[in-house]
Amino acid sequence: MKTKTTFATPDLNRNLDLTLNLPSKGEIKIKKKIKIKTLVATMVLAFLSWPVFSAKVSLESAPPVVIKTVPVAGATSVDPALTEIKVTFSKAMQDGTWSWSTWGEETFPEMVGQSKYLSDGRTCVLTVKLQPGKFYATWLNSDKFKNFKDASGRPAVPYLLTFRTAEAGGDTKSEGKVPVLGDLPLIGARLGSGGASAEFLPLLNEDQRAILAWTDRQFRSYFDARTFEGWSETERAGLETKLIDALKGPHTRDYFQAINTLGAMRSTKALAVLRAIAYERAERNNRDRWMAIRALGLSGDQTDVPELIHLVYHGNVNTRWWAQLSLVRITGQNFAKDWNAWGKWWNAQGGQPPYQPEIIRWWNGQAEPEKLAGSLEEGDRKFFESLSPKEQSQTKTEN
């Protein structure tokens, strides 16, 4: 006698048919005379080895996401008298823990009280003091700081909240376009990014954004906020000539400011002298080097990519981090501190000139190629640890 037993398998909606031979007497057997206890043991082991498909994606298992903010993200005429920023998540959140993280130090709202959750358990409130006519940006969770969590401890998906307050006495009801990169007081004006792509900043990782903020704190007086829109060709040419001449003189404040103004102008006439400063194979003070690298990034000429890749492993902290930032700005890619990945990507795209992988010896104490990445990693770690407690708290404001 034969009986057909069907088992439902967990994948592909297919059935597994097992036909058992049931003799009139004796032991129950299946084909090839395998004992039923062996079959059972085999099935148990197979069951334990199957992937678990029973857990379905649901609201409970999915991470929380931001569903509402006050003010609305991208608002351009927010009342500067607003005293509370509110963010509502898709599910109940864990009380007493949050990560309001900075995008740029000067774009983070001034906090005047501790965060708290409302009675709904999903809306977190930050008490702030806003200024009129100012752009604000804050990460709600980020790559490093993930203390906005649901009741089960799942971190919320990072969300960048941006808005601009109305000018004093201005209209606080109208809503305009979402601000672009040139609107940012920190990056757009002081770092002279002007009309650069609005996609640049979101491409940066947490450490790169911290470098931007630190640079602004330390060197903002050297940067030129002008866009030079409306300048005639004659006016531009006259200023370019004067600034390029300044680069032939002593390394005074005028010298450093000339580098940054040429970058803000996107001067093509200055490319040769800026490259000479940035790519010089000499061990020296590097302030003008990294400022020239920054200026080249603003100029956006892709032929600079191969040389900038080699500067990603330079011994000077500002130099190697600004090489990263300029590469991101020029290419729209971000391989961070991995110069090999940058080079492989560039050559795979058929970039010209091609990247030559031979390591350049930038300074006498440079580690051997196989130890270079580890040496630079240690240097970066010490640099970030050297930031003052105030600077660190402003870079990562969290409970």
Residue 116 phi, psi dihedral angles, 5° rounding: -160, 160
Say if residue 240 is in the same domain as residue 313: yes
Say what the pLDDT of residue 46 is.
46
Say what the pLDDT of residue 114 is.
82
Q: Is residue 193 part of a domain?
A: no
pLDDT per position as a tens digit, 78-100? 889 899 999 999 999 999 889 99
| Alpha-carbon gap, residue 137 to 126, rounded angstroms | 13
Say if residue 235 is in the same domain as residue 156: no
Say what the pLDDT of residue 104 is.
73
Q: Is residue 35 part of a domain?
A: yes
Say if residue 125 is in the same domain as residue 12: no
Report helix, strand or coil for 110.
strand
Domain assignment of residue 238, given as a range: 201-389
Q: Is residue 57 part of a domain?
A: no
| Cβ-based neighbours of 385, under 8 Å, separated by 6 or more | none
Identity of residue 65? V
Burial string for 60-76 (b: 16+ CB within 10 Å, else e) reads: eeebbebeebbbeeebb
Residue 127 phi, psi dihedral angles, 5° rounding: -80, 130
Say what the pLDDT of residue 370 is.
94
C-beta of residue 108 within 8 angstroms of C-beta of residue 102: yes
Say if residue 353 is in the same domain as residue 219: yes
Identity of residue 302? Q
Say if residue 151 is in the same domain as residue 240: no
The tally of domains found in the chain comes to 3
In this structure, are strands 66-70 and 84-89 parallel, antiparallel, or unpaired? antiparallel
Say if residue 16 is in the same domain as residue 83: no
Decide which of 178, 193, 224 is a domain's last residue. 178
Say if residue 25 is in the same domain as residue 101: no
Say what the pLDDT of residue 42 is.
52
Say what the pLDDT of residue 213 is.
87
Identity of residue 333? Q
DSSP per-residue letters across 121-148: SSEEEEEEE--TT-EEEEEES-SS----
User: Given phi > 0 = left and psi -120 to 50 = alpha, else beta, which region is 354?
Assistant: beta
pLDDT per position as a tens digit, 19-75? 444 444 444 444 444 454 554 555 545 444 444 444 566 777 889 999 899 998 888
C-beta of residue 137 within 8 angstroms of C-beta of residue 161: yes
Decide which of 143, 178, 213 is a domain's last residue. 178
Say if residue 11 is in the same domain as residue 157: no
Decide which of 119, 144, 178 is a domain's last residue. 178
Say if residue 70 is in the same domain as residue 167: yes
Q: Is residue 196 part of a domain?
A: no
Identity of residue 309? I
**pTM score of the predicted model:** 0.53
Q: Is residue 136 part of a domain?
A: yes
Say if residue 11 is in the same domain as residue 102: no
C-beta of residue 343 within 8 angstroms of C-beta of residue 309: yes
| Alpha-carbon gap, residue 254 to 260, rounded angstroms | 10
Q: CATH no. for residue 151?
A: 2.60.40.1220
C-beta of residue 216 within 8 angstroms of C-beta of residue 188: no
Q: Is residue 120 part of a domain?
A: yes
Say what the pLDDT of residue 344 is.
95
CA 338 to chain centroid, in Å, comes to: 15
The 8-class DSSP code of residue 282 comes to S
Say if residue 324 is in the same domain as residue 210: yes
Rounded mean pLDDT for each run of 10 residues along the chain, 399 residues in total: 41 41 45 48 49 57 90 87 92 92 84 88 93 92 89 92 83 40 31 42 88 89 89 94 96 96 95 97 94 95 96 96 95 93 93 95 94 94 75 41
Q: Is residue 279 part of a domain?
A: yes
Q: CATH no. for residue 243?
A: 1.25.10
Give pairs for 79-82: CB < 8 Å, separation 24+. Answer: 79/165, 79/166, 79/172, 80/130, 80/131, 80/132, 80/133, 80/134, 80/165, 80/166, 80/168, 80/172, 81/130, 82/128, 82/130, 82/165
Say what the pLDDT of residue 203 is.
85
C-beta of residue 222 within 8 angstroms of C-beta of residue 256: yes
- Residue 210's Cβ-side half-sphere holds a number of Cα atoms within 13 Å equal to 23
Say if residue 377 is in the same domain as residue 311: yes
Q: Is residue 141 part of a domain?
A: yes
| Residue 83, both tokens | 């005293």
